[in-house]
Structure 1
Amino acid sequence: MHVSSLGFRTDLALLTASGSIVEDRGTHLVVRSPDNPSYFWGNFILLAQPPVPGGEREVVGAFHTEFPLADHVSIGIDTADLSDDARAAFEAAGMTVDDATVLTASALVAPREVAAEVRALDGDDDWEARARLSQQLYPQTPEEAFMTFARQKNVQERRLVDAGRGQRFGAFVDGTLVSTAGAFVTEDGVARFQSVETHPDHRRQGLAAAVVHAAGQDALDRLGVRTLVIVADTDGEAVGIYRRLGFADAERQLMLERRSGEWGA
């Protein structure tokens, strides 16, 4: 299956580079991360096209067939064109429809100065702090379950660092990691951002812009990247931050999700 979406194409490149498995079924891809089964967008189905009318519940059933033990459902569609009827049918099947914005930049605008040390993560303590920061953003999920996920996500991402594909940068205030972003090469001349996260107590201080700029500039300067790719909620605050850094809208990325069990709160 040919993937045309820049958002999904860069997603898949990083997933396979960090150990995930992609199975091509012709009309769709099945993406698996066996070492991290609770990673929603490491274990999903990517459809080439929206299902035929009335086929939405069948697609959800196909996910359960592929991932019978999953506490989630994650389905991507390689085109952002979803009719109102199809959207309503997926919602009736319990899915949340996320129409995200994919943005690109070939150069970045420097952000304002921040009262923090901004640097690449270095060593086990920094990466554990990254997992702890992530967990604090999802207090509704049991800590043990989330930390298992977050630590395995670190393992996957550190494979990308070790392979020379990029770095994750953090903003440290009084020695504590409070904001972080990573950018990693997906193909020749292209790098994709991953997981921009900021502690709620440190938002609106310019820290997210600082770490995104640092990670992106590192990819541009050190790795010869020509195009940076980042994805944001269309209606969220982050998309404005990225536009002010020089990113421009490129496309939409269609993702459908349902959480249950420990992740459903």
Structure 2
Amino acid sequence: MDVTSLGFRTDLALLTASGSTVEDRGTHLVVRTPANPTYHWGNFILLAEPPVLGGEREVVGAFHAEFPDARHVSIGIDTPDLAPESSAGFEAAGLVVDVAAVLTASALQPPRDVDAEVRPLRSASDWESRARLSAAIEERDDVESHLTFARGRNVQEQALIDAGRGTRFGVFVDNEVVSTAAVFTTEEGVARFQSVETHTAHRRKGLAAAAVHAAGRHALEHLGARTLVIVADDDGEAIGIYRRLGFADTERQLMLERRHGDRSSLDG
């Protein structure tokens, strides 16, 4: 299966580089991250195209067949659009349909100055602080399970850093990571941002823009990147930050899911 979506193509490149596996079934891919089974978008299926109308529950069943122990459902579709009837079918099957914006930039506008230290994560305490930040901003009932997931994701990112693919920047206030962004190369000349996160108590202070800008400059100046790729929800605050930094809408990324242990039904 040839993946055409820039969003999913860069996702898959980073997942496989950090230890995930991808099984090609012709009509779909099965992506597994055995080291982190609660990583929703490290354990998912990617369809080449939407199912025939009425086949939405069958697709959900296929996910459960591939991941019988999973307490979530994550399904991507390698097309930018979904017919209203198909969207309704997936929603009736209990999934949330999310169409995200994939944005790109070849240069970045400088953000406003911030009264905080902006630098790469280096020590074990830096990475643990990042895990605590991730758990703090997620509306989940089971904080400990999310900390386990966040620590596992840290290990995957550290493998990418050790391979020279990029790094994660943090914005530090009182020695705690309160905002963070990572960027890693996925193919020649292309670098993809990962998990831009900001603590709710530190939003609207320009910190996320500072983290993204620092990571993006690193990719452009030290990783040979010519195209930066970032993904954002259409209706979130983040997309405005990215556009002000110079990112422009390029395509759409279609994702469907049902989360476990979340007070809301949306995943970040």
- The match for 2:36 is 36
Measured after TM superposition, the shift of residue 80 of structure 1 is: 1.4
Counterpart of 1:101 in structure 2 is 101
Letter in 2 for 1:127: W
Which amino acid in the other structure matches residue 68 of structure 2? Answer: P
Q: Helix, strand or coil: the match of 1:49?
A: coil
Structure 2 vs 1, CA of residues 119 and 184 (structure 1 numbering), >3 Å: closer, same or farther?
same
Aligned-residue RMSD, C-alpha: 0.9
CA distance in 2, matches of 1:190, 1:107: 13
Cα distance, 1:174 vs. partner? 2.3
CA–CA separation in structure 1 for the residues paired with 2:45 and 2:186: 20
What does residue 7 of structure 2 align with? Answer: 7
Question: Which residue in the other structure is 1:67 paired with?
Answer: 67
The equivalent of 1:85 in structure 2 is 85
- Give the Cα separation in 2 of the matches to 1:130 and 1:241: 21
* Cα deviation, residue 140, structure 1: 2.7
Q: Gaps spanning 5+ residues in structure 2: where?
A: none
State, as a whole percentage, how many aligned pairs show the same letter: 71
Please state if 1:219 is matched with 2:223: no
Deviation at 1:141, TM superposition (A): 2.9
Shift of 1:65: 0.0
The equivalent of 1:197 in structure 2 is 197
Partner of 1:47: 47
What are the Cα deviations for residues 150-169 of structure 1, in whole angstroms up to 9, with x where unaligned? Answer: 10000001000000000100
Tell me how far apart the structure 1 counterparts of residues 141 and 170 of structure 2 sit (CA, whole Å). 24
**Residue 123 of structure 2 aligns with which residue?**
123
Match of 1:24 in 2: 24
Q: Structure 1 length normalisation: TM-score?
A: 0.98
Once the two structures are superposed, residues 106-147 of structure 1 have per-residue CA deviations (whole angstroms, 9 ceiling, x without a partner) of 000000000100000002110010000000012433121111
**Residue 173 of structure 2: aligned partner:** 173
Q: What's the CA shift string for 1:192-230, capped at 9, x where partnerless?
A: 000000000000000000000000100000111000000
Give distance in 1, aligned partners of 2:141 and 2:150: 12
The DSSP-based 3-state class of the residue aligned with 1:62 is helix
Contact in 2 for aligned 1:17/1:160 (Cα 8 Å): yes
Mapped partners of 2:14, 2:140: distance in 1: 28
CA deviation after TM superposition for structure 1 residue 173, in Å: 1.3
Structure 1 CA distance, aligned partners of 2:175 and 2:45?
A: 40
| TM-score w.r.t. length of structure 2 | 0.97
What is the Cα deviation at residue 256 of structure 1? 0.1
1:175 deviation in Å? 1.9
CA distance in 1, matches of 2:64, 2:219: 38
For 1:258, the equivalent position in structure 2 comes to: 258
Per-residue deviation at 1:177?
Answer: 1.1
For residue 3 of structure 1, give the secondary structure of its aligned residue in structure 2: coil
CA distance in 2 between partners of 1:122 and 1:229 (Å): 24
Contact 1:219 1:225 in 2 (8 A): yes
1:163 corresponds in structure 2 to 163
Contact 1:71 1:263 survives alignment (8 Å): no
Contact 2:126 2:176 (8 Å CA) reproduced:
no
Partners of 1:221 and 1:173 lie apart in 2 by 26
Aligned with 1:111: secondary structure? coil
The SS at the match of 1:204 is coil
Match of 1:232 in 2: 232
Q: Deviations over 1:16-50 (max 9, x none)?
A: 00000000000000000001010000000000000
Return closer, same or farther for 1:56/1:139 CA change in 2, 3 Å cut-off: closer
CA distance in 1, matches of 2:162, 2:106: 25
Q: Quick check: 1:146 aligned with 2:152?
A: no
